Amino acid sequence: MHTEFKKVAMIAHDGKKAEMVGFFKDHMDVLENMKIVATGTTGSHLVKAGLEVDCKLSGPKGGDAQIAALVAEGDVDAVFFFRDPLGKHPHEPDVQMLMRVCDLYDVPLATNPASGKLLMEGIRKFSK
Ligand SMILES: O=C(CO)COP(=O)(O)O
């Protein structure tokens, strides 16, 4: 199991971006000690909220696939992916692939804010 958290990925579907920004601000104390990578549009929102973020392509243009590749390479230690279960996503195969790769490599994946909070508390504990 992952006990060292150096880099996390943050991704949110459009209907969840506001919640992701709030979540990001609420956990600034943990995140400021970490590298952050994000899909393009999510990342641009997070940059505005105040931290350095490595912004990949937008999700529908391949951003989820880029983050999946980082997970497969062992370069991402946890994924926060706030999904919108009511939305339609043209890149659903990429979304499934990212989640599958997290399961394949046993990388923690939080797909909603409630599980995100619990994962962040775990990261906080291991980072002490
Ligand atoms: O589509 C996404 C996740 O599947 C998110 O991508 P953006 O952050 O570019 O909107």
Kindly write down the DSSP assignment for every residue of 101-117, as one continuous string. Answer: HHHHTT--EE-SHHHHH
| Active-site hit among 14, 29, 54, 64 | 64
Amino acid in the structure at residue 114: A
Global ipTM: 0.98
Q: pLDDT tens for residues 43-58?
A: 999 999 988 999 999 9
Instruction: Give, using CA atoms, the residue closest to atom 6 of ligand 1.
Output: 59
Residue 55: φ, ψ to 5°: -90, 120
Residue 62: φ, ψ to 5°: 120, 0
Q: pLDDT tens for residues 76-124?
A: 999 999 999 999 999 999 999 999 999 999 999 999 999 999 999 999 9
Instruction: Give, using CA atoms, the residue closest to atom 3 of ligand 1.
Output: 59
Question: Quick check: is 84 catalytic?
Answer: no
- For residue 23, pLDDT beyond 90: yes
The pLDDT of 31-54, averaged and rounded, is 95
Residue 42 counted as an annotated binding residue? yes
- For residue 1, pLDDT beyond 90: no
- For residue 60, pLDDT beyond 80: yes
pLDDT at position 50, please? Answer: 87
Cα of 128 from ligand 1 centre, angstroms:
31
- For residue 67, pLDDT beyond 80: yes
CATH code, residues 7-127: 3.40.50.1380
pLDDT at position 4, please? Answer: 85
* Ligand 1 shell residues, CB under 6 Å: 11, 13, 39-42, 58-60, 63-64, 89, 95
Q: How far is CA 92 from CA 65, 72, 83, 116, in A?
A: 11, 19, 11, 21
